[in-house]
Structures are given as structure tokens and as C-alpha cells.
Structure 1
């Protein structure tokens, strides 16, 4: 997907990826062919992972501030390694890793974490690993549900759209703005992301102050941090924010019965 020319095996039994989003696509397409993860699954995530897939080795990768280990990747004995390339099309890092991986083809995939446009990456990965029918099934599922969400969201009057703050870290003072990688679902579902700050094209969160959050006064707070969630209702700094006063703070974890999964 980066306009490089590579020769890949016609059929493969073991593949790995340097990037979590692409590894996730591989897991969805061909879990039996996946040779390792870039991260450690949490106990909550493992509740939804079949037992035969719970013990993938954590081989790290090259993303964010992480530093991959070539020996760990090569130790999995993959026939193909998938790498990421962004919309700029810059391939120097991919070419550098290809030299280190030697004869194992390092196949670049558009690292598209936008749920509305990632179908081409799913289709491409499915074709390379010989799982085209599964990729087609995944894309049809994705399109069906995106269309369903968008059909509902577009009918929400502007004055009824909820103001949402996405709280990250234990103090809740890291967030992601509208159109960012981690904040995109707020927009897709018809919410208004209150974080009118820059950095929308980054996958890194932005630090904000409690004064900013008070000024934004969100109707709803969504958090991925259980420590923040467990303490926010007893924290005087947050007590006057509408979402806290109305008990509209949600922790989207599988075990949390009143969380985002129930909205």
C-alpha cells in the first residue's frame, strides 16, 4: 500500500505486524496465523478472547515511543511482516526495517485507524494472508454498523447533541480533540467533543487543566481509566461539572454494568 514492490509467499502460516492497529486487523482476519502481539491484553480484554488465542507472545513494535526488537520479531519465524505507513506515504522507516528483516518481506499497510475508511487496509491484509472472504465479511459488518450509527446521529438536532469530554490518565486531565484517532467515535456517534484544542492528527493525548474542563462543562465524561472513574465523584475539583453532578461519567469496560457498553 506504499507503492513498493515485494515478493510474498502464495500461502502463509505465520505473520506478525509492527503496529497495533494492523495486528488487530490480522487478529480479525487470521488469528491462527498471527505470531505475536505488540502489547499485553488486559484482564478485561481477555474475557472476550478465546482461550487458544490468549497466549500470543508480546513482541513489541515500532509505534509511539516504543522501540521494537528485531530479534523478538525474527524469533517468531514469520513468513511475512506487516508494517505501517501513514497518509504521507513516507517509507524510509519501512525500508530501514526491511534491511534488518532481511529476506522476510516487510509489507507496508496504510495504518488507517479511522473506522470509516479502514476497509481498504482490511481488504489488503486479507488478500495477502489468503483470507479474502473473511476480510469481505468484516468490511460488510463494518459498513452496515457505521451506516446504522450515522443514520441515527444525523437526525439528532444540534441543540440536543451532548457535549462530551474524553478523560484519560488517572487525573482525567489528558484528552483527545475532535477528529483525533482516539476521539473519533464521539463525532461519529453524534456527540460534541468539547476539547477544542489542536493536535487532531496525532495519536498522542493532550494535557489540559481542570479550569479548562470546568469551562467546557461537558454533559458526559467518558474515561478509560478506572482510577479516575473510581475517584471522580468524590473529587471536589470535578464536583461542579455537569457530567459529575448528573452522574454521567462512564467507564467503557466489559465488567462495568452502567458503562458505555450500555448506552
Structure 2
């Protein structure tokens, strides 16, 4: 074999190795790329594909940012809605993270405002978590306008302990690479739920005081007539809710005369409606003083939890306080204020009860006939 043929064969072999080597390299890169992709099914049943774990996100719509804040990784938030930048009222997740106010604006926020695709694009998030979308079409539309994957999350239908919250937390954890933290959050919430139930589930009905909650926020603030049937916080402590007699579920406004008929043993007033309750008491003392709970000093304030969807942390703290009031023996080892701080610290990294109490009276019994 002459040198020229030998050199030609070497060149051909090198060329073939380069081709196959390049193909192998491309195959490896494609495989690696595909292995980084994440596919999730959101709470609307949409299958969403994400190129890789997201390092920067935005959370839009009622309560979306709160669930992200439970991961204690504010550096992943690229921007916030004005409703969370400017208004900290009753929002422990904002109070715990004052740096949120320094982030870019991504839209007005609020339940009646549509997302702002241009402002979202300006902060260049890799994922949009949204509670705005009530249907697949609106979520798909926002995803089409921005070119950014939209994952719909949800709080479900109850004030606390709704499985939809656990699902949403798992979705966030998977997408941002914090699945272990997501599991810790879910485990803690379920631990509280199980603890509340274990303490109260074997109390006979004839040993339970009847209870009523008024002043609940419902698209604004209301007085004592604003309540709920099948109230999830009462359900959490197996309370005897007088409103359940109606067979209705969720928010409703009752006729105040109906409350006299029910005449519950204990009444809770939500902090959001406390001022309206005070004003109404001053005008209608004769009405209120016919209620046994008021005559006997069995009226209590709970912290308000419904600000831009449910503050799950505050709702759980309220459930412990209700348990303490309704069943002192079963909750004799629980200090509601310390328990509230434990809940805030676990979910948001800070003890926040004193700040909430400063704004909303805190957990306390009212002595209406003496003070008002």
C-alpha cells in the first residue's frame, strides 16, 4: 500500500468517526435536554411542559403569591401585583417578606382584573403560576400571549385544609425544584388537621356547646349576619355549628332574628367585621343582649384570614383558638398565641401573631356589657 492510499484511508476513517461522534454528541445533548423537561398536570387538568426547573417565577391572582411564599425562597419571585405591593392588610405572607414591595410591578392584581401580559414579559419569568383562570381557555390564552408556561393553581372551595392547596404546593415544588420543601409544607398542614380532629372527634354532641361565627369577609366586610354553613374551621374541630341547620354550604347572610332563635352558646366574630359589629351593637343593644352568648360573656374575636384568598396560616391558627374556646380540656396544653406563632414561623419563617393582633385585636373574649 502506497503512502497516498494509506493517507486517504486514514482521512476517510477520521471523517466517519467525526460524523458518528457528532451524531452521538447530538443524541447525548438531546437526551440531556429532554431529561430536564418537566411535564405537570395543573389544577384545571392542563398538561404543561416546562423546559427545566424554574429559577424565576411570577404568581398572579388571588392567593397565588402566598403559596409561593410558603417555600421561603423570595429570590425566585420576579415581580408582584400591585395589590400585594401596596396593601399588606391582613396578609402575613407580605408582612413576613417586606422586600416584595421592591420588586417590579406585573399588573394590578385583584379578583376582577385580568393579567397584564406585557408587564409579566418585562420581568422575564420562566413560569407563571395563576389562580385567575377559571377555565382552560383563559389559561391557554395567557400562555399563548406570553410564550411562558402557565400553571393554574387553586385553593379549592374551603377556608382551610382543602386538598387543592396540597396539590398546588406540590406543583410549585416540582417546578421550582423544591419537592422536599413542598412535602414538608403539606405534612405540617396535615399534621395540624389531624391534631385538631384527634382532640375533638370523640366528643359526644350533647357535650359540645353550640357555636356561631359572624362578621366573615365576603366580597367586602360585614357584620354579625355574615356567616358560613359547613364552615371548614368549625369542621376542623368538629364543632356544633348552628348554621348547619339550614343545609347550606359556604358564605351566606342570615336574618338576624334567626340568630336569636338559634341562641348559640358561643359566638365568634371575625376581625374583619369587628368594627361593623361594634357599631351595630351600639345601635341595637337590646337585640344583642337577648343572646345568651353575650349575656354570659361567651363572645370571642378570631383573626381575619380572608384577604386576597385564604391566609391558610391564619385560618389554622383560628381553628386552634376555636378549639381552645369550645373544648378547654381537650386543648389545655395549647396556648393559641404561641401556636399561631409556631404556624407562622413554620410556613412563613417569622412569628407574626403580635403584628396581626395589633391590627385586629387578637384572640380575646369580649366583655360587651361592661365595655360597650
Which category describes the TM-score, using the shorter chain as reference length? 0.7 to 0.9
Q: C-alpha distance in 2, partners of 1:258/1:62?
A: 28
Q: C-alpha distance in 2, partners of 1:227/1:55?
A: 32
1:103 pairs with 147, 167, 186, which one?
147
Larger Cα Rg: Structure 1 or Structure 2?
Answer: 2
Moved over 6 A (4+): none
The answer for the alignment partner of 1:26 in structure 2 is 68
Shift of 1:97: 3.1
Q: Is the 8 A contact 1:161 1:190 kept in 2?
A: no
The answer for the alignment partner of 1:226 in structure 2 is 274
1:4 aligns with 2:46: yes
The answer for the alignment partner of 1:36 in structure 2 is 80
Q: How does 1:107-186 map onto structure 2 within 5 Å?
A: 107-112=151-156, 113=158, 114-117=160-163, 118-168=165-215, 169-178=221-230, 183-186=231-234
The answer for the alignment partner of 1:194 in structure 2 is 242
Deviations 1:21-67 (A, max 9, x none): 3322111024332332554321684795144346565844464xx22
The root-mean-square deviation of aligned C-alpha atoms, in Å, is 3.1
Deviations 1:74-128 (A, max 9, x none): 4544321112499xx942332233334x201111224335415232221121111
Q: C-alpha distance in 2, partners of 1:211/1:172?
A: 11
Q: C-alpha distance in 1, partners of 2:295/2:106?
A: 41
1:208 aligns with 2:254: yes
Q: C-alpha distance in 1, partners of 2:209/2:119?
A: 46
Q: C-alpha distance in 2, partners of 1:220/1:127?
A: 43
Q: How many residues were matched structurally? A: 248
Deviations 1:201-251 (A, max 9, x none): x5xx32222112212222222223230354465442222122222222222
Q: C-alpha distance in 2, partners of 1:72/1:62?
A: 15
TM-score, normalized by length of structure 1? 0.78
1:52 pairs with 90, 96, 99, which one?
99
1:249 pairs with 260, 278, 299, which one?
299
Shift of 1:5: 3.0
Q: 1:115 to 1:77 in 2, by over 3 A?
A: same
Q: C-alpha distance in 1, partners of 2:253/2:241?
A: 15
Q: C-alpha distance in 1, partners of 2:170/2:91?
A: 29
Gaps of 5+ in 2: 1-41, 216-220, 304-355, 366-372
1:91 aligns with 2:160: no
1:67 aligns with 2:113: yes
Q: Is the 8 A contact 1:150 1:189 kept in 2?
A: yes
Gaps of 5+ in 1: none
